[in-house]
Amino acid sequence: MRAIGNGYTETKRKYHARIEFLFYQMMRLHKLYHRFTFLPFSPLPLLSNPSLLPLAPPLRFTRRHGTAANFASMASSRFRNLAPISVAPAEDAAGSVSSSVNAAASLDYEDESTVGGRYCIPPSVISDIVDAPPVPALSFSPLRDKIIFLKRRALPPLAEIARPEEKLAGIRIDGKCNTRSRMSFYTGIGIHEILPDGTLGPETEVCGFPVGAKINFVSWSPDGCHLSFSIRVNEEDSDSSKLTVWIADVKTGIATQLFQSPNVHLNAVFDNYVWVNNSSLLVCTIPSSRGPPPKKPLVPGGPKIQSNEEKNIVQVRTFQDLLKDEYDEDLFDYYATSQLVLASLDGTTKEIGPPAVYTSMDPSPDQKYILISSIHRPYSFIVPCGRFPKKVELWSADGKLIRELCDLPLAEDIPIAFNSVRKGMRSINWRPDKLSILYWVETQDGGDAKVEASPRDIIYTQPAEPLEGEQPTILHKLDYRYGGVSWCDDSLALVYESWYKTRKIRTWVVSPGSEDVAPQILFDRSSEDVYSDPGSPMMRRTQAGTYIIARIKKESDERRYIVLNGIGATPEGNIPFLDLFDINTGEKMERIWESNKEKYYETVVALMSDQEEGDLHLDKLKILTSKESKTENTQYYFVSWPDKKIVQLTNFPHPYPQLASLQKEMIRYQRKDGVQLTATLYLPPGYNPSTDGPLPCLVWSYPGEFKSKDAAGQVRGSPNEFAGIGSTSALLWLARRFAILSGPTIPIIGEGDEEANDRYVEQLVASAEAAVEEVIRRGVADPKKIAVGGHSYGAFMTANLLAHAPHLFCCGIARSGAYNRTLTPFGFQNEDRTLWEATNTYVEMSPFMSANKIKKPILLIHGEEDNNPGTLTMQSDRFFNALKGHGALCRLVVLPHESHGYTARESIMHVLWETDRWLHKYCVSNNSDAGEDHATDTLKEHVTKGTTNTEKVVATSGGGSKEVSDLEYEDYHSLPRSSLW
């Protein structure tokens, strides 16, 4: 199984990676942006163990640009990060909030001497929530008889984020550790036995490694008897800061090093290690012959030249951290090159294969073969390493080359249109239901989504060692773009395809072992239509450690069924379910489980009764579920058939008891063009609108594109979900007695041949007007005290609203946004037309072009090392200068060392302080009439006093501030980007 670690490794069973992304697709947009988006950003997922994830089919949607890395880790946090095991009892929530708010209200935000050049802390009612003990992650053993708790620390200090990093080929590398930089970690591992009654036995702490070690890449052996993990210790020492591999005995908890030599270290830039069988691992190590890193020449050997004398059409988005010259190429090779070592638990080791830039290692289910992927030169200066030449080879388990499957050339010319892909073999995997059968897909349209072709993709299968002259077998031909396969056996597999332009998604039933059985369409629907989602098949673990569709038998029935796990979207909210489904007739036979819809929100996390091979009996079914309510945090339960007996597995205390009695309501309202909109309205504990009157209100959202009004108006999410509060969530201001309108839908609709963004501003303003009118109508929001905010594309939204709908909001907070779309000329977000194809759209959508219209106070926050393809730090710099040049009341805060999301405690606390200060000065204290230009009046007041509040603040630990004139804008082309726009 793939490590549970914090690494950017490709999932061993790539199917599991698709699970996480599919799960993201099912999550509500507004929840992503108050629960997940605002979690401290870590580029490395904390847990990738499929045993705790909802076992869904592979990815049935083609990935949109810029959603993979960040959203994949956010999406699975509900099931991976549980509440802390113990939290000190808190005071009465109502009393705590009331007294703290009074204390916070006394802060003198008018004292400008508190503003410049140092990190600040927000009021304690906010900081106490953020500083609460972090929750552990958990993972079940392969046999579901044990569970481990992976313990974590609080927010990291800035000193860790500030560690030097190499920005190479689209990734960031910590040279001392030889891993991806800014890698989060665990502080301890606790093992619990699951007792026969479903409760947990006493904890066995994994021990034997140095005190203070940082733990990564935790993974179960296939038989569940051992845990593997890596540790690093003293990061000041170049040797001990590198990762070593350890093995722990699950029964005793005692851990020992895998390699007897202390000089063998893990190379975790790409893959790290994988269990080949119960007693051996294949490990990516730093080559023993490697010397010191190459030195950058003081005098360049010549100019940097790029040429297109062949007149090739190469359109790429604004990738960051790219290679710049030959020295960068050498440095990338230095850190990314690994030597594969086959290591046994008895201490024997064997180097296999030559040193290379290995990116993934995937043993076959029968443990006889290993699928090895690597990248090689020639490299590129305009695309990241994912598009470098890629070689896929088949090796024997002892490291002998059997055959080369493909050697794909450099892919600089993948079109920017959605559903465009790389030419040649892709998505090469092992069939999980067979011992050693490969499958893959090849495009028939040259990878260009704009080319008409039928079929567009073909799925092939072939034995690992085919007979001489044996050609690959065609499994299925697709007219849309391939989205994955859920395998069961020779009689059943589900194939998924989708097409973004039309939002069409289809599920096919195929019989892999019967060429005479024609494929049949099982589901043909719109991916936007959540009400029609039938669910995804529950998956079971095989003895080989792979996952296949679970077959279900009923005692009184000879037929075999599958179980569909669905989110159950309805106009009243999500009501998750399990349906017994007859794959032969395509009919739902019976709903065997459904979430409580009156008070609780329950979801099925995983199947727990798959220890034995063969069909599962319905009356012996056992599942793991999560359960939560508006005020009760998530707990986990076992549910067992036939009587559906429920056993509570966890009993975690409330993570922020001071807000335990907050009020939450999913509300519906209508845009002036008839589109139905939804939002989640949060009100502070104890608030009564009839006696307390309207409150200051913070609207926090993120626009989304749709192809139909009906789909845009559908309800997503549940009114009973627990209010998860991340480290920079807008919900933190409930503690400051704000009303929070979280995730109001901002649909940008382009029906038929119409492009959504051609009416972006019009639809954006209409959606915001409807939201504001609704909170005012309900009497919960003061019309003069409504602020708007957002992160990334939400920041873009915020700036546009202040420019085009100044009558709605008193101020805005825009974090890590992009404001000038001419700086992203080859597409952005879900726009795949170029600047030259849609010039007016690019210009009209850019708030930079409307900087002269922004009169309301706007706070801009940006990470100085933003690695997102669309949101260069330069975007905020230049937008701030444009605003300042027109006398706007504005403020720019650039966070040193931070990326697209913010990680360090100092940075996060300062972001909260800045936001609270802004809301206090320009929202809570706003006493102007609704139609009065408060921003202009305030600016005039500052000018009269001889000062303006338009300074740029760069928070630094050194106590200084840096003016805009000190910045070298030319250097920003090398700043990094992540995958979230």
Q: At what angle do helices 760-777 and 793-804 cross, to 10 degrees?
A: 80
Q: How many CA atoms lie within 13 A of 658 on its CB side?
A: 25
Helix (H, G, I), strand (E, B) or coil at 648: strand
Query: Any idea which residue has 């046999």 for tokens?
Result: 143
**Helix residue spans in 236-362 (DSSP H):** 326-336
Please say whether the beta carbons of 898 and 157 come within 8 A: no
Residues 6+ apart with CB under 8 A from 192: 146, 147, 148, 149, 200, 201, 202, 203, 204
Active site members: 792, 866, 900
**Which of 913, 932, 791, 777 has the alpha carbon at shortest distance from 855?**
932
617 is written with which tokens? 């009996």
- The three-state secondary structure class of 939 is helix
**Identity of the residue numbered 446:** G
* 862 strand-pairing partners: 894
Q: Which residues contact 537 (CB under 8 A, 6 or more apart)?
A: 56, 57, 486, 494, 549, 550, 562, 563, 564, 565
Kindly provide the b/e burial profile for residues 609-622, where b requires at least 16 CB atoms within 10 angstroms of the residue's own CB: bbeeeeebebeebb
Q: Is the peptide bond before 142 cis (omega within 30 degrees of 0)?
A: no
Q: Are 588 and 578 in contact (CB under 8 A)?
A: no
Beta strands in 777-879 (DSSP E): 781-791, 811-815, 858-863
Residue that is written with structure tokens 């192809």 in the block: 707
Tokens of 90: 């808190």
Residues 398-424, buried b or exposed e (16+ Cβ, 10 A)? ebeeeeebeebebbebbbbbbbbbbbb
Task: Tally Cβ neighbours within 10 Å of residue 779.
Answer: 13
Instruction: Return the SS3 of 701.
Output: coil
CB proximity list for 309: less than 8 A, separation 6 or greater: none
Q: 278: closest CA among 229, 230, 227, 208?
A: 227
234 closest CA partner among 212, 265, 261, 208: 212
Q: Please name the residue that has the structure tokens 């699951």.
A: 194
Residue indicated by tokens 């599919």? 22
**What span, in angstroms and rounded, lies between the C-alpha atoms of 419 and 836?**
21
DSSP H or E run through 916: helix 905-919
Angle at 167 between CA 163 and CA 171, to 5 degrees: 105
* Both tokens assigned to 901: 């999301």
CB 72 within 8 A of CB 17: yes
- 8 Å CB contact between 538 and 563: yes
Q: Under 8 Å CB-to-CB from 305, ≥6 apart: which residues?
A: none
CA 802/CA 187 separation, integer angstroms: 44
Which residues are bridge partners to 482 per DSSP?
A: 497
- Pull the structure tokens for residue 261: 């030599």
> CA-to-CA distance for 750 and 736, rounded, in angstroms?
39
Contacts of 208 (CB under 8 A, 6+ apart): 246, 248, 254, 255, 256
d(CA 878, CA 873): 9
* Omega of the bond leading into 43 within 30 degrees of 0 (cis): no
